[in-house]
Copies of this chain bind each other. A is one copy, B any other.
Amino acid sequence: MLNNRPRHILSSDQFDREFLDYLYQLVNLIRRYDKSKEGLLYLKSLLPHVRAMLYFTQPSTRTFMSFHSACNILGVSTSEIRDSATSSEKKGESIEDSLRTFSSYVDLIVMRSTEAGLCERIAALLDNTPRPVPIINAGSGPDEHPTQALLDIYTLRRSFHGNQIDGKRICMVGDLKRGRTVRSLSKLLANYRDVAITFASPEAFRIEQDLRDCLTRRGVAFTETEDFEGAIRDADAIYMTRIQDEWDTGRESAAVDHSGFCLHLEHMRRIKPDCVIMHPLPRRDEIDPLIDSDPRAKYWRQERNGMWVRVALIMILMGVDHQVMLPDKSVATS
């Protein structure tokens, strides 16, 4: 069982190797229940008494649907906010009051907002009330998207031979400056041994200095390059990302030529025969759709993996993970 059970999922900094190993073992066990109606009904019997609020003031259909489905799988009832402003806020209510209100109706809050640090603030506020509830950060502004990083690592693990991330060479491509998935994933990779990261991007979209400092501090080897073709050649995994122009203050993205950082069919002969190709999606032109049918393309599985990782995280927060991990339940999965 888990020694340090988290009360909230706020940042990818909070996870150590022990947690990651436990989480991924749990995900693998959970997925065995997906094979039959009986298995799925067992999962659905775990949390039918629990109500969750999906508070998505930064809209994201993809992440929303993934969490919503994860709740459905566990029998969790959901209430949802998918607007950029709730009606109470329009009436002048503080965001703290809004979230304390919602917390009084539910047992779990999944929140996504454009405001960095909001999740931590709300978690601390609720922890000081008579009825605290767990918070899951589903993306907070430009800084964190911890569940995306967890699902990325899970997909890497599952795609590599022997589920081994240690010693692998990961190439991250695209808008590395503003893509929060790249930040969260890079930090999480520090939990593995001898991982080498290559950051391939146009000059304008290089990683930020604080990430460089963090990786150096944690002893992660990394290089930065503008040579996309060179970078992908010996990569064990290529993590493509899109230009995050929603964070533009002017039109700076349009001024940058990123066409040399797109994966085309002709690249497929030049990369490793077992290279793992990932993308947090949505994509634009970074990956040619013709690549989708190549067995090395893992981004669609990555998407579905996200749902199962979120199922596992909710189980851990609500304290029912042992109902899948315990040996006496293993009959149901055999």
A-to-B contact residues, CB < 8 Å: 37, 40-41, 44, 48-49, 51, 53, 59-62, 65-66, 68-69, 72-73, 77, 79, 81, 86-88, 91-94, 96-98, 100-102, 104-106, 128-129, 131, 242, 246, 281-284, 289, 293, 300, 303-304, 307
The reply to whether A129 and B68 form a contact with Cβ atoms under 8 Å apart is no
Count of chain copies: 3
The reply to whether B281 and A101 form a contact with Cβ atoms under 8 Å apart is yes
**Of A68, A87, A284, A289, most B-chain CB atoms within 10 Å:** A87
A79 and B73 alpha carbons, distance in the complex (Å): 12
The reply to whether B68 and A282 form a contact with Cβ atoms under 8 Å apart is no
A303: B residues at CB distance < 8 A: 101, 104
In the complex, the 9 A-B pairs of residues with the closest C-beta atoms, listed nearest first: A93-B282, A40-B49, A72-B77, A59-B87, A69-B105, A104-B304, A61-B86, A92-B284, A88-B282
A48: B residues at CB distance < 8 A: 41, 44
Using A61-B86, A62-B101, A104-B300 as known contacts, say yes or no to A44 and B51 having CB atoms under 8 A apart: no
The reply to whether B65 and A105 form a contact with Cβ atoms under 8 Å apart is yes
Task: Give the nearest-CB partner of A49 in chain B.
Answer: B40
A62 and B103 alpha carbons, distance in the complex (Å): 11
A131 and B77 alpha carbons, distance in the complex (Å): 26
A69 and B79 alpha carbons, distance in the complex (Å): 7
The reply to whether B97 and A283 form a contact with Cβ atoms under 8 Å apart is yes
**Of A101, A246, A284, A307, most B-chain CB atoms within 10 Å:** A101
The reply to whether B102 and A65 form a contact with Cβ atoms under 8 Å apart is yes
The reply to whether B92 and A282 form a contact with Cβ atoms under 8 Å apart is yes
Task: Give the nearest-CB partner of A77 in chain B.
Answer: B72
Contact check: which of B40, B61, B81, B93 meets A281 at CB < 8 Å?
A: B93
The reply to whether B100 and A66 form a contact with Cβ atoms under 8 Å apart is no
Q: How far is the CB of A98 from chain B (nearest CB, A)?
A: 7
Q: How far is the CB of A287 from chain B (nearest CB, A)?
A: 10
A283: B residues at CB distance < 8 A: 93, 97
Q: Would you list 8 pairs from A and B whose C-beta atoms are within 8 A, ordered by A residue? A: A51-B72, A51-B73, A60-B88, A61-B88, A65-B102, A93-B284, A94-B289, A105-B304
The reply to whether A49 and B65 form a contact with Cβ atoms under 8 Å apart is no
Using A44-B48, A105-B307, A246-B91 as known contacts, say yes or no to A282 and B66 having CB atoms under 8 A apart: no
Q: How far is the CB of A101 from chain B (nearest CB, A)?
A: 6
A40: B residues at CB distance < 8 A: 49
A65 and B88 alpha carbons, distance in the complex (Å): 12
A79 and B78 alpha carbons, distance in the complex (Å): 10
Q: How far is the CB of A70 from chain B (nearest CB, A)?
A: 9
The reply to whether A242 and B53 form a contact with Cβ atoms under 8 Å apart is no
